[in-house]
Structure 1
Amino acid sequence: MSNKLFMVLLGATVTGRLIEQHDVLFAIADDLTQLIPTFKNAWPNASVHVDAWREVSSVQGHRIHLSDVPSDNDLKLYFFNLGGYVQGDMEEHHHKALVVANNQAQATQYIKQSEFYRNRGYQGAESHIDDKFAVDIDDVHVVNDLIAGNSLYLHISQEADLQADDVWQVGYLSLSKLAKRKPSIEA
């Protein structure tokens, strides 16, 4: 068994809310099924489910793996939550993205070239990265900071043979159905 980094989109029906709420969680486990207690703790007073997940091992031609020693390079994995609008639609649409960069300025420059950022907005309702650091970005986080306390560190290395990012597994998955799921073969 080997520890893996998972990125999970949780959905929840929260008492007193009219629409389903969502959040992203980064967690380390051998298999997704081991994270069920973590999902329940994320929203202890709600009915929680998984809407999408991916194992994070390949981002922008970089291999992502975990180690018990800190990395000796400057590369970081950034998580962005972009917000944007479609004219005539009463919704703020969101796009979640991972970016490998040496610093936040470089990561922000990269994400501002994305299709979502360039095309999900119009005058008066511009696309944005939610305002964490007074830049027009919804949220930006260093993933290593989000998994702090696990005594594991992200190591990022560029690899020429990596063709694509990890694939998202998308679709409503109740925790009871997840509990019945067989652990992945790679675990």
Structure 2
Amino acid sequence: MRLDRRAVLRIGGVSLAGLVAGCADQGGNTTTEPNGASADTTEPTGAGGMQTETTETTEPTELPTETDTQTTQNATESPADTTTDTNATETTQTATPEPDGQVVDIDNLAFAPMEVSVEPGTEVRWVNRDGIPHDVTSAQFNSGATQWDFQEEAEGGEEINYTFDDPGTYEYYCSIHGKSTMCGVVLVGDASRAGSLPCE
């Protein structure tokens, strides 16, 4: 049986079309999804074949955000520490106070000074600087003198004390050596001498 030219061309075209279709089936279908995700699907040719689908998904990578927080704290300056040395010993030199009152020296058979003026409440101290005993005996040589009663003796180096509390003119002498040799007067407050003394 002879085939004409048209029949041959028609048969050849059908065979070529089938071959192209088979190659397309073997190559499989590839689908690319946006955002970096791709899906590969492979279908075997022929009936009853197992279909295997492989899907690869790539999630977009998020870059970590690093936040640096810098906190500045105001430093509070503490006052300087003060160290106290409790073991330190302070030495204070205290001058020896002079004895209170008025001093009358008994020396060379005389009262020196013979006349003293003091304020009420003052203590008069008669210091015996002679090597022999003396005394202080109250007297009233002048009518204007103050009357008082006192007598006390002191050995050499000793002293006699008397406090004059009231204003007045107080005359006295040494009874051991006599009024014409040793006498004196104490003026207290605003008092003045009542007259001359027998030892002057």
Q: Give me the TM-score of the superposition, normalised by structure 2.
A: 0.19
- TM-score calculated relative to the size of structure 1: 0.20
Identify, as 1 or 2, the structure richer in strand: 1
Higher relative contact order (CA 8 A, sep 6+): 1
Asked which structure has the greater CA Rg, the reply is 2
Structure with the higher helix share, 1 or 2: 1
